[in-house]
């Protein structure tokens, strides 16, 4: 059968990241590959209580079709939560999405035509690149340092690419690097968005999971012209299986998102929305987030200590103040995929850096996740990985 696919469908069935994640599913592999929360912290009993109350109190409503914008009860809770990011908004400026991934997809549908330019951090969240690419975007990657995206490079890119439709950024504990954008750069980003009349999509899935340093106001909180769209999620602070994210934007723009969402899935799962709203009514979600942050800090410290102990002295890594990831750079490593293949043989896994680049991948880079693996396996896994790196470096010298 010869299928006549649209131009959005990839020309090949090769899925590098999917193949990596499939390989690491084996229980005997110590995996630092997936961006998964710690499942032992999922509040199963509390969610069961909230579910029972929802079904008893408003089961027929919760199981019915609902609003594309999301139930009012949950949008009010989100409006309160984003105040922690310095965002003063109303439920009318919020739409509930089916996870952050739907926000990315809807944003692509709304703003990107084939040939449009999307500016991203280099490296950046690989699934965002895949989504925007499916709508025909061309990419410009902006170099980062420890303070996030370089604003001088961004302004140069905006000047050279007046056709830019969107700037995509993850300012807090960025995926994959774990870096946080400084306040000065957030202010400059807001100014540049206004100056060049380009939209910014601020993705903040990890911001609440801070275990060091001080909170930094969101880019959206610095936006006075409506150029910043803010997106968040319950996936990292409660449970990813509930598939609940949100968008904060001007009401006129929210109306566009609602129209596009109606053609995608009508509305986000009503029962999940009611359950999360009831959970937040019955229990203290901020106390739950403190538990998550405390555990992730412990695991990050264990991993960082092991990296310093077992990795080559010239290995560079990020020092996250929260979130789930550490970014590693070993300049002497020329083929990170070959390094991954060696690592799998030693029953340890990571994600090679190449898929995180929209253009010009940097050799010798990879991402480590510390949130999902138990403490007793973190040092052993990094020890194995350290031996793999030494083996790869020696093999390159021989070659």
Distance CA 329, CA 318 (A): 9
pLDDT tens column, 57-104: 999 999 999 999 999 999 999 999 999 999 999 999 999 999 999 999
CATH 3.40.640.10 domain span(s) along the chain? 44-282
Q: Let me know: does 236 contact 203? Beta carbons within 8 Å.
A: no
CATH 3.90.1150.10 domain span(s) along the chain? 16-43+287-395
pLDDT tens column, 116-142: 999 999 999 999 999 999 999 999 999
Return the CATH class of domain 16-43+287-395.
Answer: alpha beta
What DSSP state is assigned to residue 128?
H
Q: Let me know: does 223 contact 99? Beta carbons within 8 Å.
A: no
Q: Let me know: does 104 contact 120? Beta carbons within 8 Å.
A: no
The structure's pTM equals 0.95
Q: Let me know: does 145 contact 329? Beta carbons within 8 Å.
A: no
For 163-200, give the DSSP string. TEEEEEE--SS-TTT-----HHHHHHHHHHHHHTT-EE
Give the 3-state DSSP-derived string for 53-65, with helices as H, strands as E and coil as C.
HHHHHHHHHHCCC
Measured over the CA atoms of residue 57, residue 59, residue 60 and residue 65, the dihedral's sign is positive
Q: How are beta strands 325-329 and 316-317 bridged, if at all?
A: antiparallel
**Coil, helix or strand for 346?**
coil
Within 10 Å of residue 12's Cβ, how many Cβ atoms?
5
Output Rg (C-alpha) for the chain, integer angstroms: 21
pLDDT tens column, 197-227: 999 999 999 999 999 999 999 999 999 999 9
Return the CATH class of domain 44-282.
Answer: alpha beta
Closest by CA to 176, choosing from 140, 144, 151, is 144
Percent of the chain with pLDDT over 90: 89
Distance CA 136, CA 144 (A): 25
- Give, rounded to a whole angstrom, the gap between the first and last alpha carbons of the chain: 46
């Amino acid at each position: 059968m010869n299928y006549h696919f649209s131009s959005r469908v990839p020309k090949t069935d090769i899925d590098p990241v999917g193949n990596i994640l499939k390989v690491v599913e084996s229980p005997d592999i110590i995996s630092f590959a997936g961006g998964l929360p710690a499942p032992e912290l999922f509040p199963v009993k509390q969610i069961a209580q909230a579910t029972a109350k929802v079904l008893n109190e408003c089961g027929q409503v919760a199981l019915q079709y609902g609003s594309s914008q999301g139930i009012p009860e949950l949008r009010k809770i989100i409006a309160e939560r984003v105040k922690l990011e310095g965002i003063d908004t109303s439920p009318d400026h919020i739409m509930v999405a089916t996870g952050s991934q739907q926000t990315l997809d809807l944003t692509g549908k709304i703003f990107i035509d084939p040939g449009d330019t999307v500016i991203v951090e280099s490296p950046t969240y690989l699934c965002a690149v895949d989504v925007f690419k499916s709508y025909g975007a061309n990419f410009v990657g902006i170099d980062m340092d420890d303070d996030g995206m370089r604003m001088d490079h961004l302004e140069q890119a905006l000047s050279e690419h007046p056709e830019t439709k969107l700037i995509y950024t993850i300012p807090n504990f960025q995926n994959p690097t774990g870096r946080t954008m400084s306040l000065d750069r957030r202010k400059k980003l807001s100014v540049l968005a206004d100056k060049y009349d380009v939209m910014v999509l601020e993705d903040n899935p990890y911001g609440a999971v801070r275990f060091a340093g001080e909170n930094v106001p969101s880019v959206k909180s610095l936006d006075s012209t409506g150029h910043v769209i803010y997106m968040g999620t319950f996936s990292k602070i409660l449970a990813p299986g509930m598939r609940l994210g949100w968008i904060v934007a001007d009401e006129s723009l929210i109306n566009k998102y609602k129209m596009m969402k109606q053609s995608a899935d009508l509305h986000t799962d009503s029962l999940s929305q009611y359950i999360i709203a009831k959970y937040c009514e019955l229990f203290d979600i901020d106390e739950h987030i403190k538990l998550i942050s405390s555990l992730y800090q412990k695991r990050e410290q264990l991993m960082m200590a092991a990296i310093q102990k077992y990795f080559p002295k010239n290995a560079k890594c990020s020092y996250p103040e929260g979130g789930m990831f550490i970014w590693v750079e070993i300049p002497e490593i020329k083929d990170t995929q070959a390094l991954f293949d060696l690592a799998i043989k030693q029953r340890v896994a990571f994600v090679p850096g190449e898929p995180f680049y929209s253009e010009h991948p940097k050799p010798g880079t990879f991402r480590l996740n510390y949130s999902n693996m138990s403490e007793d396996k973190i040092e052993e896994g990094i020890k194995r990985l350290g031996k793999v790196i030494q083996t790869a470096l020696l093999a390159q010298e021989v070659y």
